[in-house]
Structure 1
Amino acid sequence: MSGPFTDRRFAGARWVDGRSAGPFAGRTGPLLAALAAPASMGVSGPSLALPEAARALSATPAATAWLMTAFGLGMALGTPLLSATAGRRHGTAGVVKAAAALVALGALVVLLAPNLPLAVAGRALEAAGAAGLNVAAFQLAGRDRSGRTPGLVAIGSAVGGTAGLFTGAAVAGALGWRGALVLPLLSLLSLRPALALANEESPRTPAPTPGLPLDILRNSRFLAAAALMLTLSTVNFALLYAAPRRVAALTGWGPVETGAVASVAALAGALLSWQLVRGAPTLGAARLKGLLGAGSAVALALAVTAPWPVAVLVGSGTSALVTAGGQGLLSGAATETLPAARHGNAIGLFNLAFLIGVAAGPALASFADQTVQFI
């Protein structure tokens, strides 16, 4: 069997298909993970700072929640927008530059905003830029067709989301609530080496094909990979909402204890996903996809029905494991049978499927929380 999980390996400074990994060989994965992780921090980081933000902006808690909602919407819209504009004209380097500018502009608006509407607008701009940096990280990681570098980026993104809650609380305590809203600025620390890596794109690499991505949307392997990623992401982010509530209900713990334990479980799962990435070449594509789907189903069943808090946490960690591993590995499957000129657009659409799950998961969990008694 050939494919992104079996036919190529990373070796030294070169991939065995002959493409150079460039001067960042050996640290390309961590570099790109550092570029992508702050985007996830932007999702979770403001959570504990919202009450202080509401008081400072003289807004209701419900209205202040738009600081979170706007970020999710901005990420979902920013992914196709930057891919279709800066990405089409200037390639991955153009996406990185435009995304960095949006992150900086959005953060500036947030830091200076005198009222909630302007702060929400700044968060949306910041999120669009964060999404672009996330997509660019996966596009650059996609040069390693073994899936290991994309796997590291996915793990970094998952770790960023888990660590963002506590990072945001710490920054808010030290610098004020606005600091928790601009964590994506940390991506700019990786900007210079990321641009150097993006500028290494071979001149032989075909330019992105313009027009609607109908050929991508008709590709059965892309659709299968994107659909599985959407499922994994939806389940994972539903459990990030529901699992801590079940643990609290089963134990009587307060929000601090529950949040800490749930975060450790999710972080452990994200870190353990590296073992899945390493073992993927021996599994083959079909068995890997089956394992990802089964792992997500078992995780959901444990988190929703198990009467023991430890089992609920194991379910949450398992979901984080298969989601982080799947985001890296399935990105290769999504582009496997597409022309090189379509890979950038395909990665953007694939990550859009992931981001839809980020938004849909908590919404579905919230709906279930109101209608199903055992959640």
Structure 2
Amino acid sequence: MSPGEPNTAAGAGTLPVEPSAGSAGRGVRGSLRTGLLLAAVAAPGAAGLSGPSLVLPAIAREVHVGLDSAAWLMSAYGLGMMLGTPLLTGTAGRRGPRALLLASAGALLLGVLVTLAAGAALGPLVAGRAVMAVGAAGFNVAAFQLAARQPDGRASGVVAIGSAAGGTAGLFIGAAVAAGLGWRVCLVLPVLTLAALPAALRGCGGPEPEPGPAQRAEADADPGAGAAWRPFLGLDALAVRRFRAVAAVMLVLATVNFGLVYAAPRRAAALTGWSVVETGAVGSLATLTGALLSWSLVRAAPRLGLQRTTGLLLGVSFAALALAALGPWAPLVLLGAGASACVNAGGQGILTGVAADAVAPQRRPEAIGLFNLVFLLGAALGPQLAALGERIAGLGP
């Protein structure tokens, strides 16, 4: 196999090898520093996804709508991220992460301005959140694209942990910000990404090199999805069995995790009588701990191999779901939520690299965007399935 070829079935059970002690040194430290910077790019967008969750009843009262209508402030954000992932990856993304970051910043700022200017009208608030989410999605994809340039999987792992930490901390940050500064501020938490934008732009380097003649010939000759769709969605990655397999695993992990982000704090509050801020603080602490512990999974994955790693991720995810749904005490519910956050963040960091490595180098930006779209599909499905489960059990509205 030549260095530029995608992995085939023969290598489907492997992960990038752990660097030897002699080769670690500055390369590993540089990868970790890059990962931390890129985590700061991705985390605020993830916080925007969960930030309004615990204060939706208060927002509904302020804008004079029912809770179901106010929930569109979260649903629109998830849908905006799902739309923004292929849209920005397929347009600015083809010109490299720098163009993707700039386009994302423009969309994010536009969404923030619309949200702040919307007053108490639900429609403009929802529209502003959706546009803001398009920009947040672009930042997320750019962070993983830049992380994938690093020589090992550590940078992608740190970005995944940062994104998970932002999403879990958003529960508490949103509740605390709403209590201190008003509910509108908790709707624009993704604007914090702009603080890390200058450093991220400096880290992009020059523009992406154009594919050589051999690579263009390979792309033109490759069967599958039409060439017109490849720059936009990267759907030809779905023709690769290894990509499909790891994307399916990620869909399960994300669906379970974001279902518990929605349901576990509510169940813990019902068992204890905690206030919204108390629930946000304790729930965020549990899931943030899990997200940070996922670093051990990222480090262990090369030794375990892909098959055992995916088995471990799925096993812990289903056990966490059972614990959070059936545990009779709040600590058990939160333990389940933390365990799910651990395998979700670890899985995103590990499997993003596997998915990117499954396709040819010139297709990797689109493949990473499509893989993130699958992750966001799980983020959108999870709360809806959790709410459905609550209604079936007679616990929800």
Q: TM-score, normalised by structure 2?
A: 0.85
The residue that corresponds to 1:243 in the other structure is 264
Q: Does 1:5 pair with 2:22?
A: no
The residue that corresponds to 1:57 in the other structure is 63
Distance of 1:125 and 1:311 partners within structure 2: 37
User: After superposition, what is the alpha-carbon deviation per residue over 1:83-137, rounded to whole angstroms, capped at 9, x for unaligned?
Assistant: 111112x222111110110001110111111322112111111000000100110
User: After superposition, what is the alpha-carbon deviation per residue over 1:170-192, rounded to whole angstroms, capped at 9, x for unaligned?
Assistant: 33344332211111111111111
Letter matched to residue 183 of structure 2: W
The residue that corresponds to 2:381 in the other structure is 360
Mean Cα deviation higher: 335-344 or 110-119: 110-119
Identify the match of residue 96 of structure 2 among 59, 66, 91.
Answer: 91
Identify the match of residue 51 of structure 2 among 45, 48, 52.
Answer: 45
Distance of 2:274 and 2:289 partners within structure 1: 21
Q: Residue 13 of structure 1 contacts residue 26 of structure 1 at CA under 8 Å; is this kept in 2?
A: no
The residue that corresponds to 2:305 in the other structure is 284
The residue that corresponds to 2:36 in the other structure is 30
Q: Does 1:100 pair with 2:105?
A: yes
Tell me: CA distance 1:135–1:245, structure 2 relative to 1, closer, same or farther (3 Å).
same
The residue that corresponds to 1:211 in the other structure is 228
The residue that corresponds to 1:234 in the other structure is 255
- Per-residue deviation, 1:317: 1.0
Q: Does 1:151 pair with 2:157?
A: yes
Q: Residue 251 of structure 2 contacts residue 378 of structure 2 at CA under 8 Å; is this kept in 1?
A: yes
Distance of 2:255 and 2:276 partners within structure 1: 23
Q: Does 1:336 pair with 2:353?
A: no
Q: Indicate the percent of aligned positions where both proteins have the same amino acid.
A: 54
Q: Secondary structure at the match of 1:198?
A: coil
- Per-residue deviation, 1:310: 2.6
Distance of 2:257 and 2:89 partners within structure 1: 26
Letter matched to residue 81 of structure 1: L
Q: Does 1:164 pair with 2:170?
A: yes
Tell me: CA distance 1:205–1:278, structure 2 relative to 1, closer, same or farther (3 Å).
farther
Distance of 2:25 and 2:134 partners within structure 1: 35
Root-mean-square deviation over aligned CA pairs: 2.6
Q: Residue 175 of structure 2 contacts residue 277 of structure 2 at CA under 8 Å; is this kept in 1?
A: no
Distance of 1:36 and 1:343 partners within structure 2: 19
The residue that corresponds to 2:3 in the other structure is none
Tell me: CA distance 1:337–1:52, structure 2 relative to 1, closer, same or farther (3 Å).
closer
Tell me: CA distance 1:148–1:293, structure 2 relative to 1, closer, same or farther (3 Å).
same
- Per-residue deviation, 1:373: 6.0
Distance of 1:215 and 1:36 partners within structure 2: 26
The residue that corresponds to 2:338 in the other structure is 317
- Per-residue deviation, 1:68: 1.5
Distance of 1:286 and 1:201 partners within structure 2: 36
Identify the match of residue 345 of structure 1 among 347, 359, 366.
Answer: 366
Distance of 2:208 and 2:327 partners within structure 1: 52
Q: Which consecutive unaligned segments of at least 5 residues does structure 1 have?
A: 16-20
Q: Residue 239 of structure 1 contacts residue 300 of structure 1 at CA under 8 Å; is this kept in 2?
A: yes
Distance of 1:318 and 1:48 partners within structure 2: 21
The residue that corresponds to 1:18 in the other structure is none
The 5 A counterparts of 1:103-114 are 103-114=108-119
Distance of 1:101 and 1:374 partners within structure 2: 41
- Per-residue deviation, 1:162: 1.5
Q: Does 1:183 pair with 2:172?
A: no
Distance of 2:266 and 2:175 partners within structure 1: 20
Aligned length: 367
- Per-residue deviation, 1:256: 4.3
Identify the match of residue 82 of structure 2 among 76, 79, 82.
Answer: 76
User: After superposition, what is the alpha-carbon deviation per residue over 1:23-66, rounded to whole angstroms, capped at 9, x for unaligned?
Assistant: x6552111000000000111112234444544443444332222
Q: Residue 81 of structure 2 contacts residue 137 of structure 2 at CA under 8 Å; is this kept in 1?
A: yes
- Per-residue deviation, 1:320: 0.6
Q: Residue 139 of structure 1 contacts residue 347 of structure 1 at CA under 8 Å; is this kept in 2?
A: yes
- Per-residue deviation, 1:255: 4.3
The residue that corresponds to 2:290 in the other structure is 269
Letter matched to residue 152 of structure 1: V
Q: Residue 288 of structure 2 contacts residue 341 of structure 2 at CA under 8 Å; is this kept in 1?
A: yes
Q: Which consecutive unaligned segments of at least 5 residues does structure 2 have?
A: 1-10, 220-226
Q: Residue 4 of structure 1 contacts residue 336 of structure 1 at CA under 8 Å; is this kept in 2?
A: no
Tell me: CA distance 1:234–1:139, structure 2 relative to 1, closer, same or farther (3 Å).
same
Tell me: CA distance 1:306–1:174, structure 2 relative to 1, closer, same or farther (3 Å).
closer
Mean Cα deviation higher: 103-112 or 142-151: 142-151
Tell me: CA distance 1:25–1:97, structure 2 relative to 1, closer, same or farther (3 Å).
same
Tell me: CA distance 1:184–1:205, structure 2 relative to 1, closer, same or farther (3 Å).
farther
Distance of 1:373 and 1:174 partners within structure 2: 34
